A and B are shown apart, each in its own frame.
Chain A
Amino acid sequence: MKTFVYVDHFKGEVQPASWEALGLGKSLGSVSAVVFGSGLDAITKAAFEYGADEVLAADDAALTDFRAEPYAATLAALASSASPDLILFPTTARTRELAAMIGVDLNTGVLTDVFELDASDNQLVATRPIYEGKVLEKVVCSGKPVIATIRARAFPKPEADSGKSGTTTKVEVKSDALTEVAGYSASESAVNLGDAGVIVSGGRGVSNNPSLQPPAGLDEKQVEIWRAQQGFALITELANVLGGAVGASRAAVDGGYIPYSHQVGQTGKVVTPDLYIACGISGAIQHLVGMRNAKLVVAINKDADAPIFKQARYGVVGDLFQIVPALTEAFKKKLGK
């Protein structure tokens, strides 16, 4: 099988699931890494190290910022002439748009959030979540190429071999941009829950520390948010010691405690870390669906009847404001940090 793997990056920072897609493509046959942007030497080099047989690069100032229209036109033209059987993407905000558009241009199907891909009997069968992961479906695509975006951490990441290199072919750029990117500000708390190996999450319970004395002059809602932020500070310390990311329940983001980008358990935010520590999260169904594929789940909650305990391997019935800092200290000591 001939596979294209689109290497998604933001300002040169590659989404790690791109390499997982490369490994998947390699297991099915030959792989061409497709890289768009400007100043792509480092990414091209990495693509060979992760196993690409060739790199197809559109290195052009017109492609500096991701814009769906010129990227889609360039990729669709490339795919039309090279006719791969399969185009794989990591699942990101950018690739959802890009894959959607080349699906239109090439009149073929797009399978998103794929976490299993079976290639026996000469037919690609993809498994993907629907209804927020409450149900799974197997789907086939009758168009060619098959376009699939894969879920992060679902396929093994290949070992990088620094000795490898190969031929890079220049791709003709179609620069029919319809949008203009005028500015960018990095998020205060860059969070990539999909790629995280460890996630420490907070819920409504993080605002319930009565022993804290809030600053004067805040109204009731501001006091609640202030309290929650103190709670999330403890959670962040624990996440930092473990090299992990900070997650949150819907109750916590709806309460304004933390930005939406941290939310676990809505469509598209199914997380699969090796370790998931839920702090003060009762466990609404969509949250449980979002995190149940974690390898090891630990729950800390005051309420022994909280549904989250049904999903956890280890539980502590207690006050997160005492347990979380104690955990941070214990990990520091035992991990030698």
Chain B
Amino acid sequence: MRRSVLKIIACIKQVPDSEAKVKAEGGKVSWGDAPLVINPFDEYAVEGALQQKEAQTGTVTALCIGPESAKEALKHALAMGADDAILISDPALEGIDTLGAARILAAAIQKIGGVDMVVFGRQTLDSGAGLTPAQTARLLRWPMLGLAGQIKVEAGSVTVDRVIEEGRQTVSAKLPAVLSVVQSIGEPRYPSFMGIRKASKADIPVWSLSDVGAGAPEAIVRRTELMNPPVQDTTIEIIGGESPAEIADKLVDKILAEKVL
């Protein structure tokens, strides 16, 4: 089989670590001193992109919108094996919504040019909306192959195993295409020693909005309030007994008395 030369973009974001105690504080989101990391779902995107680069041949570019500090997330992608990385950073991007982000990413992907495949994680841990992959596809007018658990490229087409609640579908489209991946793609590889060294020396280009060739997007969705979830005052009652049967008996009576079933 002839191998294709693929130009792949992995879109990533930097977010507070999943273990972070995130809360609303003075109208802002605070995560204390928890580290900022590559969005966990985006590690799967980088993994999926690298798998395709290895199955065929080609390059993987990690692309990220964020502040200067987001270079660390891009360095993680480089350490995993991405060939290069681009940070899009501009003061005008503060407070953009998902559609705004998709417009910037689509413009950057067009500017990069000759791209065959764009790979996203299924959603980010911060906004959690999961809209950007399909919006980027729509703006590029490329097919969207969402929630891919497996990817196969052959003769200018891409076929994915789409993982949905009802099962798995086989869906295919012509390249170029936009994909989002799910965990079944395979555990993200650990950065190698060589990879970490290469990433630490990398000079990551920073593109402003004018470099991308896009205007400042106007936010259509605006946050008016930030809240912490209501604290539930649960007092626990520990159910004990002489035997599992006795404990189960008591517990079931308690549950049935709550009338939730």
Seen from chain A, the residues whose Cβ lies within 8 Å of a Cβ on chain B are 10-11, 13, 65, 68-69, 72, 92-94, 96-97, 99-101, 103-105, 107-113, 125, 129-143, 178-187, 190-192, 197-198, 242, 253, 260-261, 266-268, 274-275, 284-286, 292, 295-298, 309-319, 322-323, 325-327, 329-331, 334-335
Q: Closest approach, in angstroms, between the C-beta of B240 and any C-beta of chain A? A: 8
Seen from chain B, the residues whose Cβ lies within 8 Å of a Cβ on chain A are 16, 18-19, 21-24, 29, 31, 41, 97-99, 102, 122-135, 137-139, 142-147, 159, 163-174, 182-184, 220-229, 232, 234-240, 243-245, 247-249, 251-256, 258, 260-261
**Cα distance A234–B116 when bound, in Å?**
47
Q: What residues of chain A lie closer than 8 Å to B166, measured between beta carbons?
A: 10-11, 13, 186-187, 190
**If A93-B164, A185-B167, A268-B128 touch, does A314 touch B251 (CB 8 Å cutoff)?**
yes
A295 touches B165 (CB 8 A): no
A68 touches B146 (CB 8 A): yes
**If A112-B130, A130-B127 touch, does A260 touch B182 (CB 8 Å cutoff)?**
yes
A68 touches B144 (CB 8 A): yes
Q: Closest approach, in angstroms, between the C-beta of B63 and any C-beta of chain A? A: 19
A298 touches B251 (CB 8 A): yes
* Chain A residue with Cβ nearest B146: A97
Q: What residues of chain B lie closer than 8 Å to A131, measured between beta carbons?
A: 16, 22, 29, 31, 125-126, 128
**What does DSSP make chain B's interface, helix, strand, loop or mixed?**
mixed
**If A103-B135, A129-B128, A136-B228 touch, does A284 touch B239 (CB 8 Å cutoff)?**
no
A179 touches B171 (CB 8 A): yes
**What does DSSP make chain A's interface, helix, strand, loop or mixed?**
mixed
Query: Could you pull out 29 A-B pairs where Cβ atoms are within 8 angstroms?
Result: A13-B166, A97-B144, A99-B131, A110-B129, A112-B129, A130-B127, A130-B128, A131-B126, A132-B128, A136-B226, A136-B228, A138-B226, A138-B227, A141-B220, A182-B159, A190-B166, A242-B261, A268-B128, A274-B261, A295-B260, A296-B255, A309-B238, A314-B255, A319-B244, A326-B247, A326-B248, A329-B245, A329-B248, A331-B252
A330 touches B143 (CB 8 A): no
* Chain A residue with Cβ nearest B246: A326
Q: Closest approach, in angstroms, between the C-beta of A102 and any C-beta of chain B? A: 9
Q: What residues of chain A lie closer than 8 Å to B228, measured between beta carbons?
A: 135-136
Which of B98, B236, B237 gathers the greatest number of chain A CB atoms within 10 Å?
B236
Q: What residues of chain B lie closer than 8 Å to A182, measured between beta carbons?
A: 159, 170-172
A69 touches B247 (CB 8 A): no
**Cα distance A111–B238 when bound, in Å?**
40
A184 touches B168 (CB 8 A): yes
List 12 other contacts, CB 8 Å, given A112-B131, A130-B126.
Answer: A101-B144, A136-B226, A142-B222, A178-B173, A179-B144, A179-B172, A184-B168, A275-B260, A285-B21, A330-B245, A330-B248, A330-B251
Q: Closest approach, in angstroms, between the C-beta of A292 and any C-beta of chain B? A: 7
Q: Closest approach, in angstroms, between the C-beta of A334 and any C-beta of chain B? A: 5
